[in-house]
Chain A
């Protein structure tokens, strides 16, 4: 894989893994102190009297300048740049409201679409019940989530269906460098668009969709255990059907921090 593990990551991960190959990987709970090594407190942590504590149930994830706890559960918390899949829940004169499974609904303004829309004509383009892929642009202090539908791979989703997994599992659905999602597509013939918010759009034959559903269910329930890649390959069978599927671009490197090292499908980094 090679792109951008921050210094110190492998040594932290390996410390717990080497003695317990299938043991817990530094799961912390709210209120537990985290050794910070001078790093500043990032998301999922708080500092009191110079000590850093976890504020959510998750995995300790050191970064170059700060230490984070990435949650293992809970609703999707939006981050700028995330591609998410939402359902239109309300239509107003100049915008639509999207349910993206986050703490708040996300307003999509009519100017955030590739269409030239007159005020009051919004319902001609998107209606309640439509599924859309959008990108999170900005998060305001008021909690407002700004999204846009302008960009590659974004827009109204037609056909296919939506399958939900826990948002915390999405890195495993994608896999290192996109390896898991590419395996699933190759072995089933289905086409997938993965939302960081835990919603996956799947298109293909009914049989292909059914097999993807089974694979996603295993990842959702058992994604934290080692040996996932083999399990999925066994489930889906190693012979792909005769359908070519376009490869998706690899997701940004910082999405992959919660993937256990023992599931690497490429050569590991140096010591």
Chain B
């Protein structure tokens, strides 16, 4: 989006519906999830999704600082999404930017919708998402990583929260946009699903769609979320299963 006046719009879809990276319309990029890679955090996860590399960590529930932010009847959920300076082609200056602040807010709200925060009054559950390498869909990759990290941290929740973006490219709906499709496509709809209830806790749109397209996009996204959900569960099972060997120095 935002390519009005761009000199060259690449061909994003072949006549037989194959995308620039060889995928079909409803195919996800390769996704690899590792649960618990960090030692200091209460919970953590590393996600490699297409060319994205995202690390997430959870601290908490823990005492709230500053005190005035604490809620007497529940935990607060704070989220900070940040992109490393070297994560994008044009170096990003370190520090707060408005895009990161907005993403932090919608992700925090997505998790607040599933976390049983009343179990820990006067505490804070802190979620940190760091994008180390970006290639479209970083907020979805971050959400997936953070969701696995929350489970790794033992935070009580209704469910894991898979997320994916559906876009529109050359008039066709496509699942899981890559960078070229995000830059030159006509719409980008990231969404996050709670499989247990079938409801969405994150939904945004950039670009434009008809009502019929949106309806199909929601179906496509939900289907994609279920595939991602299984991978998230597999990553957690892998970390905690009895079959996993650990190397401990003698």
Contact = CB atoms under 8 A, between A and B. Distances in A.
A103 B158 contact: no
Interface stretch (A17-25, A147-155, A174-182): A17-25
A44 interface: yes
Contacts of A226: 242
B196 A53 contact: yes
A30 B240 contact: no
Given A104-B123, A217-B248, A29 B243 contact: no
A225 B242 contact: yes
B151 interface: yes
Contacts of A244: none
Interface residues of A, number: 37
Contacts of B195: 31
A96 interface: no
B240 A27 contact: yes
A27 B154 CA distance: 13
Given A24-B243, A75-B61, A57 B236 contact: yes
Interface string A217-256: 1100110111000000001000000000000000000000
B241 interface: yes
B43 interface: yes
Contacts of B243: 22-24
Contact of A31 (B60, B116, B159): B159
B42 interface: yes
Interface in B91-118: 116
Contact of A142 (B75, B122, B246): B122
Nearest to A73: B154
A171 interface: no
Given A24-B237, A142-B72, A143-B120, A75 B246 contact: no
Given A22-B242, A27-B237, A56 B248 contact: no
B242 A142 contact: no
B226 interface: no
A22, A29, A105, A142: residue with the most chain B Cβ atoms closer than 10 Å? A29
Contact of A72 (B42, B155, B240, B246): B240
25 contacts: A23-B241, A24-B242, A24-B243, A25-B242, A27-B241, A29-B237, A30-B156, A30-B157, A31-B158, A31-B195, A44-B156, A56-B154, A57-B240, A73-B152, A75-B153, A104-B120, A104-B122, A142-B72, A142-B122, A143-B120, A217-B248, A218-B248, A222-B248, A235-B250, A260-B242
Given A56-B154, A73-B43, A103-B60, 17 more contacts: A22-B242, A56-B155, A57-B152, A57-B236, A71-B154, A75-B61, A103-B61, A103-B63, A104-B61, A104-B62, A104-B122, A143-B120, A221-B246, A221-B248, A224-B241, A225-B242, A226-B242
Interface of A: 22-25, 27, 29-31, 44, 46, 48, 53, 55-58, 71-75, 103-105, 141-143, 168, 217-218, 221-222, 224-226, 235, 260
